[in-house]
Structure 1
Amino acid sequence: MDRDNVVTSMEMTLPVYTGGERSAVIQQSESNIEAARQASRRTDLQIIYDVKRMYYAVILSKKLLKTAENAMFRLKATMELTEQLYKEGAGSVKKTDYLKSKTMMESSRAIVAAFQGNLEISKAALINTMGLSWDTDIRLSEIDIPNQPYAANLEELIGNLYQFNPDWKQFKAAIEAARAKIQQEKAGHMPKVMLNGTLWRIDNQYDYGLVNEQDKDGWKIGIGFQLPIFQGFATSHKVKEAISGLDKLEGQQILLKEGIALQIKHAFILMNSYYNQSVAMKDALDSAYENRSLNERAYEASLVETKDVIESQILESIMEAHYHHILFKHMETQFQIEKLVGNTIEEQLKHVINDD
């Protein structure tokens, strides 16, 4: 036989019976894939929530800036009127009244500058959240923050929660994996049967002896049998450990179920509270507008003091800013509910299919 040999072989093993271990390992892999998919969905829902929140934060910033600018213009008009009345000696207007109105007007200019900065920051935050370049120019399709009651009720939201929430579905996948782990460990008590086969070929320049033409190629098929007799109770303890892990997860599942439902209820109560606040605040804002307008006309006729008209102007601006902030919080809690329930992506896909 020549000293140089080239041996090529291929082996194959086919499990015939594993006592359920094979199916248990497959189930664990499938459950882990599902858990990873739900983690990805949770990330998608968080991005959707952040983009929506930042979107309406930009609208809120624009509203607050507009409110501050209107307040500044009104205070400037009051300052000019106060200066005119003071110089003409009309009524009881004093220099202190003029200085007070001027102080308030200059302060409002600082507030306007602050809100302008907030608007640019909110735009930058929205662009960053959307994953766009920092120098991207965006234009919003809306100018107002919607104010309408939420269509779904609390019971419906809780029902959808356990169908769509990614945290809940991820935890269910973890429990399925834990159950499969028990089955895998129990398989350690069972015998295992498998088929194995081998093909081989020997290449050598010598054609006689051990490497003759008949012996250069070959194959064999065998059956293997493994029977666990005694392993020092290791398998039994592994089964108990897996069962304990499942019991722990099932206990945590109860806490998670109640915890997520409580988060939904908390957000739902806040949302309704903000809506009721917005309705009441709108009535208060209308009264503040009427009060400011009446004080301005009365001031022109020297029927009210300077501080009264300034207070009415400031009060209206504060009420208007608070009203827009409540509208934003109302929308924010809606987005939080959508994120918790987790059906935002499914609804958007449904709309896309219907549009097609």
Structure 2
Amino acid sequence: MQISDDQITEARSGYYPMIGFQAEAHTITSDFNSGLTNTANRDGWTIGIGMQWNLFDGFQTSGKVNHAKAQQRKLQSQQILLEQGIALQVKQQFLSIKSTSAQTKDSQEAVGYASENRQLHVRAYQDELVETKDVIEAQIVETFAQGTYYRSRYALAMGLLSLEYLIGQNVEAKTSMP
């Protein structure tokens, strides 16, 4: 944004004249006293002043100013869109974290029920009330429930990490602006 402000100022400078100053002093050191190195030409100085002012440039200056202003408006619009995009991503992460948190809680309950079911099947097998395949099925169900629980915990951790990154990135961008 600061650069676009400077570009507008630069474009507006076309309305004003350019003035240049130049000064020079010289001394010729030589033992030869005739020709160009005589006493009148040994020491000298010059001063120059120049000015350029475009009286008519075919509205080029006003076009440059309008172009610089349009570029600034474009950047402002992009900045607003960027901020809204980040806000949308943060909202989406909050919703994802909420959903994943509920899923983690439910899968933790499922692990508890599956573990209890497996223990019941093991005791029933010891008392010869169920077959071996029922115990194995109970163990498989418990393993799947644990896998689901661990996946949901991972998804929750990744959601929290993504949210932290988005918020940190936005704060960093805000603090680097003048």
Q: Per the shorter chain, which TM-score range?
A: 0.7 to 0.9
| 1:32-89: CA deviation from partner (whole Å, max 9, x where unpaired) | xxxxxxxxxxxxxxxxxxxxxxxxxxxxxxxxxxxxxxxxxxxxxxxxxxxxxxxxxx
Q: CA deviation at 1:263?
A: 0.5
Partner of 1:223: 49
Give the TM-score taking structure 1 as reference length.
0.43
Q: CA deviation at 1:229?
A: 0.7
Q: CA deviation at 1:216?
A: 4.4
Partner of 1:283: 109
Partner of 1:340: 166
Give the TM-score taking structure 2 as reference length.
0.81
| 1:73-123: CA deviation from partner (whole Å, max 9, x where unpaired) | xxxxxxxxxxxxxxxxxxxxxxxxxxxxxxxxxxxxxxxxxxxxxxxxxxx
What is the RMSD computed on CA atoms of the aligned residues? 2.6
DSSP-derived class of the 2:41 partner: coil
Q: CA deviation at 1:277?
A: 2.0
Q: Paired residues, what number?
A: 172
Q: Counterparts in 2 of 1:151-300, with a 5 A limit?
A: 175-200=1-26, 206-212=32-38, 215-216=41-42, 218-300=44-126
Tell me which structure has the larger Cα radius of gyration. 2
The reply to whether residue 302 of structure 1 matches residue 128 of structure 2 is yes
Q: Which has the higher contact order (CA 8 A, sep 6+)?
A: 1
DSSP-derived class of the 1:220 partner: strand
Q: CA deviation at 1:226?
A: 2.4
Q: CA deviation at 1:217?
A: 5.0
CA contact (8 A) 1:338 1:344 kept: no
Letter in 1 for 2:95: I
Once residues 326 and 240 of structure 1 are traced to their aligned partners in structure 2, the CA distance between those partners, rounded to angstroms, is 54
Same amino acid, percent of matched pairs: 38
Letter in 1 for 2:2: E
The reply to whether residue 322 of structure 1 matches residue 133 of structure 2 is no
CA contact (8 A) 2:18 2:53 kept: yes
Q: CA deviation at 1:248?
A: 2.2
Q: CA deviation at 1:207?
A: 4.2
Letter in 1 for 2:88: L
What stretches of structure 2 of length at least 5 have no aligned partner? 173-178
DSSP-derived class of the 1:215 partner: helix
DSSP-derived class of the 2:46 partner: strand
| 1:265-310: CA deviation from partner (whole Å, max 9, x where unpaired) | 1012112222222222222212211111221221222212333212
CA contact (8 A) 1:200 1:218 kept: yes
Once residues 111 and 140 of structure 2 are traced to their aligned partners in structure 1, the CA distance between those partners, rounded to angstroms, is 12
